[in-house]
Structure 1
Amino acid sequence: MLTLTHRDMLTLKHRDMLAFGHRDMLAFGHMAMLTLTHRDMLTLTQRDMLAFGHMAMLTLRHLDMLTLTHRDMLAFGHMDMLTRTGTC
């Protein structure tokens, strides 16, 4: 499920790859922004959950890689940058 709400922005630039595996959920909250730049890779695998809270922002820069593996959960709270809440 990909949900973009009010004033959200999803930007994919040159050679970026956004991949969603089985039962993944990518949710963007109010004013959240996801930016993937040149050659960045965001991969969500089976049962992973990437959630963006209010005003949360995830920025991946040149050659950075964010990988979430099986049953991992990456959650962004209010004004947080990157908070790992643990695995299921």
Structure 2
Amino acid sequence: MADDDQAFPAGNAAAELNRDKPDQFPTDSVSSNITAARKKKEAAAAAEAAASRSRSGGKCELGSSLKSTLVISGVVVVAVGVAFFVAKKLKQT
């Protein structure tokens, strides 16, 4: 092997640094169709939600959420009151 004077082949730096890259990549038609269908379904759902809001007279949903919040907090207060009452009765006996 000492007799062989084979040099490593010279590289082309310009070709290595400036590789041709395609501007558009191939797309999978099935994935594209699924994505398009999902976007269309989401747009239809958003339109339906907007239509239902406009049919309800544009009422704000704050009233219903406030009512549910008050009911839930009332239930929690009652549960805590019952727990204190039971604890007090257990201490007395």
TM-score, normalising length from structure 2? Answer: 0.18
Structure ranking higher on relative contact order (CA contacts 8 Å, 6+ apart): 1
Q: Say which one has the larger Rg.
A: 2
Structure with the higher fraction of residues in helix conformation: 2
Structure with the higher fraction of residues in strand conformation: 1
TM-score, normalising length from structure 1? Answer: 0.19
